[in-house]
Structure 1
Amino acid sequence: MAIKRKEYKFQRGRIVEIQEFHDGNYGGPGKKRIKRKKPTEEQMRLVNAKNKAMRCRHKMLEYLDQGDCFGDWTYAITNRPLDMKAALKDFQKAIRIVRDEYHKRGYELFWFRNIERGTKGAWHIHFVVNEIGDTASIMKKAWNKGGTYTVAIKNEPKVYDEDFTKLAEYMTKDEHTREEKKDGTPGKPRIREASYNTSRNMPLKKPHVDKLQRWKREVKPRKGYYIISTYEGINPATGYKYRRYVMARFPEKVKLNRRI
């Protein structure tokens, strides 16, 4: 059976992501074809959540670096918004100040945000923005509703990995997200409502799509690249095999101009 492959390129080919979908047999001759099952509502919700996180990750791969800024804007109890509409206005007012400060310094602002209302009534805004040197100071001055926390992405273990998977999932979580307990069972939801969005100045190119004749057992990096991450699983909506791997180009060696 044919295998569809999608190839995404980021940062002019410095980073490449490959997605492969097995359309029929799970790998080999002699095995029966698995019948396509109609996905349940919960399965479709999981697929939509994964797609949202994927688009977020792709934008991060194209427009962010590991040294960029991750943080939170929190609310003092007396400043908590009445609803999500009010929280959105608070964010819009603050991010305009940030954008203006970036422009004054000659930089373009790229932002990701998720406004969250907890199950106990507290509000906060997770954000990710590109670092320009004094970003922490800019983010703090722009927010007057409570506290500001900032850190470089690579210095925050709960969201850092090299291909932005953890960060994208963290930034796109919502009221359906359940953190896994130590025993592997899902915990209770900690979010009552959420609103995820990004700045509009981060377009993405469409992937190159082709078909393969067979499912390779192992993935190998291209010449000049190394594998950042690999993932294999079963698509919950289709029941078919799925694989994703990301590779990055090795840094170019600096040639020294030595005279003999």
Structure 2
Amino acid sequence: MATKRKKYELRHGDVIDIEEFHDGNYGAPGEKRNKKKKPTKEDMQKANAINKAKRARQRLLEYFSPDDIWATWKYQVENRPQSMEEALKDFQRAIRIVRKEYKKRGYELFWIRNIEKGTKGAWHIHIIVNEIGDTASILGRAWDKGETWHIEIKKSKFYDEDFTKLANYVTKDENTREKKKDGTYAKPRLSDTSYNTSRNMPLPDPEVQKLVRWPKEPKAKKGYYIAKIHEGINPKTGYKYRHYTMIKISSFADEVRHKVKIDRKI
């Protein structure tokens, strides 16, 4: 069996995330078994980046809605940390305050963050948190190192239905290079990063299926629509893969959002 499918059921089955890929040890039916090759450092970096963004996207789909908050904690020049260790301590102090305020209001805090140091020395922290009504003011009061910027996820330039853009942006690191209009890649803009999520966001184990052959273009399950289909070549294995997300009609925007608000209550 050369092809596998992994199906993740998120939001109690209202969102279904599917991956289809060739086994790294075998080619498609009728092809000879590929010789194993040692992946290059660049191959590993690309594969790790894809996997990190995938897990971030699935956590966004499982625990967040378009009405939640995408924020940035900025540093004033005189408050810039001298190291990533110091920046982590700044984040930990601030997030403890945020968690305490959420608990006072009877809510559980969910967060995804990336601490970033630019190549010119500037620092900031991107953070995604669940909205509980006065989240923006809580974030502002918790951060005393500089300004706090915030926006609803759905109003940001990084929003799309399956959270791909936001996941890619919040997981970028010192190896990330933006593609320019002429097709070439710019130099990395970050010199150091630290990505992490709150521990209270486990993901369900996928249902794994073995397929006889590479499936044709996917069709939406009854009552669902396909938000996006992405196909590419896995830089580690050299084989093609496909990823797509199916969303239950009318559930993601209304029913699921209401249900998540209830589920977030302690």
Give TM-score, length-normalised by structure 1.
Answer: 0.92
**Cα distance in structure 2, aligned partners of 1:175 and 1:230:** 28
Aligned to 1:163: 162
Contact 2:98 2:142 in 1 (8 A): yes
The alignment partner of 1:101 has SS state of helix
Q: What code does the residue aligned with 1:19 have?
A: E
CA deviation map 1:179-207 (0-9, x unaligned): 11111111011101000111101111110
Contact 1:111 1:129 in 2 (8 A): yes
CA-atom RMSD in angstroms: 1.7
**Cα distance in structure 2, aligned partners of 1:174 and 1:218:** 33
1:14 corresponds to 2:14: yes
User: How far has the Cα of 1:247 moved from its partner?
Assistant: 0.3
User: How far has the Cα of 1:58 moved from its partner?
Assistant: 1.2
CA deviation map 1:85-121 (0-9, x unaligned): 1111111111111111111111100001111111111
Q: What code does the residue aligned with 1:246 have?
A: T
Contact 2:72 2:150 in 1 (8 A): yes
**Cα distance in structure 2, aligned partners of 1:2 and 1:78:** 57
Aligned to 2:125: 125
**Cα distance in structure 2, aligned partners of 1:5 and 1:80:** 46
Q: What code does the residue aligned with 2:96 have?
A: R
CA deviation map 1:143-182 (0-9, x unaligned): 111000000011011x111111111111111111111111
The alignment partner of 1:206 has SS state of coil
Identity of aligned residues (%): 60
The alignment partner of 1:204 has SS state of coil
1:240 corresponds to 2:239: yes
User: How far has the Cα of 1:208 moved from its partner?
Assistant: 0.7
Contact 1:47 1:236 in 2 (8 A): yes
Structure with the greater alpha carbon radius of gyration: 1
The alignment partner of 1:108 has SS state of coil
User: How far has the Cα of 1:251 moved from its partner?
Assistant: 2.1
Aligned to 1:111: 111
Contact 1:37 1:239 in 2 (8 A): no
**Cα distance in structure 2, aligned partners of 1:67 and 1:53:** 21
Contact 2:231 2:243 in 1 (8 A): yes
Structure 1 stretches of 4+ moved >4 Å: 31-36
The alignment partner of 1:194 has SS state of strand
**Cα distance in structure 2, aligned partners of 1:196 and 1:126:** 9
Aligned to 2:39: 39
Aligned residues: 251
Q: What code does the residue aligned with 1:251 have?
A: S
Unpaired stretches in structure 2, ≥5 consecutive residues:
256-266
**Cα distance in structure 1, aligned partners of 2:79 and 2:19:** 45
**Cα distance in structure 2, aligned partners of 1:49 and 1:218:** 25
The alignment partner of 1:197 has SS state of strand
Unpaired stretches in structure 1, ≥5 consecutive residues:
255-260
The alignment partner of 2:37 has SS state of coil
Q: What code does the residue aligned with 1:170 have?
A: Y
Contact 2:2 2:27 in 1 (8 A): no
**Cα distance in structure 2, aligned partners of 1:36 and 1:230:** 29
The alignment partner of 1:12 has SS state of helix
User: How far has the Cα of 1:74 moved from its partner?
Assistant: 0.3
Aligned to 1:71: 71
The alignment partner of 1:97 has SS state of helix
User: How far has the Cα of 1:25 moved from its partner?
Assistant: 4.2
Contact 1:38 1:238 in 2 (8 A): no
